[in-house]
Amino acid sequence: MSNQPAPFSQSDLAMTQQAKPKTLATLMMDPKIKAQMALALPKHLTSDRLARIALTEIRKVPALAKCNQESFLGAVMQCAQLGLEPGSALGHSYLLPFGNGKAKDGLANVQLIIGYRGMIDLARRSGQIISLTARAVHANDRFNYRLGLDETIEHIPADGERGDLTHVYAVAKLKDGGVQFEVMSRSDIEIVRKQSKAGSNDPWVSHFEEMAKKTAIRRLFKYLPVSIEMQRAVSLDERGEAGLDQDNAAVLTGDYSVVDDLETEAPVVGADQIDPETGEIIPNDLQDYGSQRG
């Protein structure tokens, strides 16, 4: 996977907006933007799928639609470069509106938070890690670990009621036969959680256990042979959780091809369209039904 900035520039965005102001929903479905986005995507993810997922996130978190557009598109492009799907469906990553680090237009920026499944996916792609798992430990589980020259970890989940979460840990098996693990107590986790600045949209609120596991994985990365993509993901994630501006709009800079067709394109026959106000995807068969009724 290329580590170069995605081939989509701020001038490209401006050119697509000159005909008339566009909502994020219409921008995400713009054929020119999707074509540029496709150049940054890995084989397992298409621009159509990423655009639809991004639209779903706008509907689930309406505040995203009021954020700086360059920041939103830049965050989506970061997902494209990392090969991670935004949203809670897979738990790869989350797009969240942040008031801190407001854009020049006064609007809030969009921050990218990496989920624990996204961290695991990136680690597995490195080729140096055979397996990476993260587990939550509860009060009624049997759990012991020892550090030092002979490091070991034992976890036997309790049957039935397991009690409150007390620890999380991550274990990586390396290609060379080595094993590394990281353990965090509940108090360690709470220290990290309190640093998060995402407010009511924070995945710590709705996905506490997953975020705790991700934190253990992120700490474990310090001892692992990680790729450039993994290093960038960790950096973005740490800045995002701390409420620091990730400057996602900067991804849209560079000397890339400029879109020169400023005219509004006619809808493609047979293709799905979207409602520019709501971002709802209108299947082709429903368009035909509507035209027949009109």
- How much is the pLDDT for 182? 96
The verdict on residue 240 lying in a domain is no
SS3 276: coil
Same domain, yes or no: 149 and 91: no
The verdict on residue 148 lying in a domain is yes
The verdict on residue 256 lying in a domain is yes
The verdict on residue 2 lying in a domain is no
Same domain, yes or no: 203 and 145: yes
- Distance CA(94)–CA(114), nearest Å, equals 6
Task: Quote the number of domains for the chain.
Answer: 2
The sign of the torsion formed by the CA atoms of 252, 53, 98, 243 equals negative
Nearest to 113 by CA among 140, 87, 134, 136: 87
Same domain, yes or no: 158 and 100: no
Same domain, yes or no: 55 and 15: yes
- How much is the pLDDT for 290? 47
The verdict on residue 209 lying in a domain is yes
Same domain, yes or no: 285 and 197: no
- How much is the pLDDT for 286? 46
Cβ atoms within 10 Å of 47's Cβ, excluding its own? 19
Nearest to 245 by CA among 79, 42, 107, 59: 107
Same domain, yes or no: 99 and 20: yes
- How much is the pLDDT for 232? 79
Nearest to 32 by CA among 264, 204, 234: 264
The verdict on residue 233 lying in a domain is no
For residues 58 and 50, the answer to whether their CB atoms sit within 8 Å is no
Looking from the CA of 65 toward its CB, the CA atoms found within 13 Å total: 16
Same domain, yes or no: 89 and 26: yes
Cβ atoms within 10 Å of 194's Cβ, excluding its own? 9
Q: How many residues does the chain have?
A: 294
Query: Could you list the residue range(s) of the whole structural domain that residue 282 is in?
Result: 10-112+248-293
The verdict on residue 73 lying in a domain is yes
Same domain, yes or no: 28 and 174: no
The verdict on residue 232 lying in a domain is no
- Distance CA(130)–CA(127), nearest Å, equals 7
Report pTM: 0.66
Same domain, yes or no: 99 and 147: no
Same domain, yes or no: 16 and 108: yes
Mean pLDDT by 10 residues, the chain (294 residues): 50 52 77 78 81 88 88 86 81 80 74 86 84 96 95 96 97 92 96 73 80 91 80 78 67 40 39 44 47 46
